[in-house]
Amino acid sequence: MSRSKTGARLLRAPWSACLLLLGLVLGHAEAKVQIVTTLPNLASIASEVGGEWVEVEAIAAGYQDPHYVQARPSYARRLRDADLLIANGLELESGWLPLLIDSARNPAVRPGSAGFLDAASAVPRILEVPGGPVDRSLGDVHPQGNPHLDLDPRNGVAIAAAISRSLAKIDPGHASVYEANRAAYARRLGDRIVAWETRAAGLRGQAFVAFHKEWEYFGDWLGLRLVGYVEDRAGIPPTPRHLLDLVSTMERESVGTILLAPYNDRKAAEGVAAEAGAEIRVLATQVGATAQVPRYEDLFEEALNALVAAAPPSH
């Protein structure tokens, strides 16, 4: 509709309709930045930074294994209209994101553009970067390092800062708002981090077993020891020999808890837990995996509640 036609209708319409039309015109002028993230954790952080000036949607659901997301055409359509794509990086999404980007045909969100953010590039320290050659015999090893970096909330603070910078480039008119939102979020998350570290002090040095190598950043943050994995190698199902060795390790290290994500196969883990006298703790690794985790910070609240409750009594 042209501006002249809009003005004529405003003159003829009732006052309430005028306000409605005016709101539509202004709303169109103040279009929100469309953000698509690969993971729900990134979407939660982006929503905090962007506030009312962004609309955020994640491709993967919280209950899905982020390694194995199906590249649906509907996901490509989301990217087609996006102003900013935020990916985890470190090849976590290598099996599905490149196909979606190619299918979307949106140059604004291709790697190297202002509308593409690799969250891993904002993280100050990447864990488990392989020191030698990597091949498929080692399992699903990521040659750039362990990609599960969002399970350390300190990395969440760094990612929020990178999102603020990206939004300032795309929407410079609201740069000060994004920076203010980021600062407020960093303060709030920083206060929570201090409280979580205090609560977790008794867990420091405690040994755990996990299904997959995705708790390393969490363990590094709180001083936990990950001494074994239900998987034989990353992405490779365990052999009976591996599971027997794992039970021996758990007995030797006095491991009482096996950490699983909601999408991990419980069968082998339950057998190991029964043999070793341990319990399984299924903890969300992404926002939305359970009803108790609607926001990024709730991941750590839920995990700490579970692990502190399961900790052996101190003497």
CATH number at residue 74: 3.40.50.1980
pLDDT of residue 236: 84
Is position 219 within any domain? yes
Please count the structural domains in the chain.
2
What letter does residue 174 receive in the DSSP assignment? Answer: G
pLDDT of residue 311: 83
Is position 214 within any domain? yes
Displacement of CA 244 from its chain's centroid (Å): 33
Place of tokens 């470190």: 90
In this structure, the answer to whether residues 77 and 97 fall within a common structural domain is yes
pLDDT digits (tens, 9 = 90+) for 225-278: 999 999 988 778 899 999 999 999 999 999 999 999 999 999 999 999 999 999
In this structure, the answer to whether residues 39 and 140 fall within a common structural domain is yes
In this structure, the answer to whether residues 144 and 44 fall within a common structural domain is yes
The answer to whether 80 and 105 have CB atoms below 8 angstroms apart is yes
Mean model confidence pLDDT for the chain? 90
Task: Answer with the residue of higher pLDDT: 312 or 310.
Answer: 310
pLDDT of residue 69: 96
Residue 209 pairs in a beta bridge with 228, 258
Query: Own/partner pairs for 56-63, CB < 8 Å, 24+ apart?
Result: 59/100, 60/286, 61/286, 61/288, 62/262, 62/284, 62/286, 62/287, 62/288, 62/289, 62/290, 62/293, 63/262, 63/263, 63/286, 63/288, 63/289
Q: Which domain holds residue 217?
A: 202-310
Is position 17 within any domain? no
In this structure, the answer to whether residues 36 and 155 fall within a common structural domain is yes
In this structure, the answer to whether residues 251 and 140 fall within a common structural domain is no
For the cut 50, the answer to whether the pLDDT of residue 2 exceeds it is: no
pLDDT digits (tens, 9 = 90+) for 25-72: 454 457 999 999 999 999 999 999 999 999 999 999 999 999 999 999
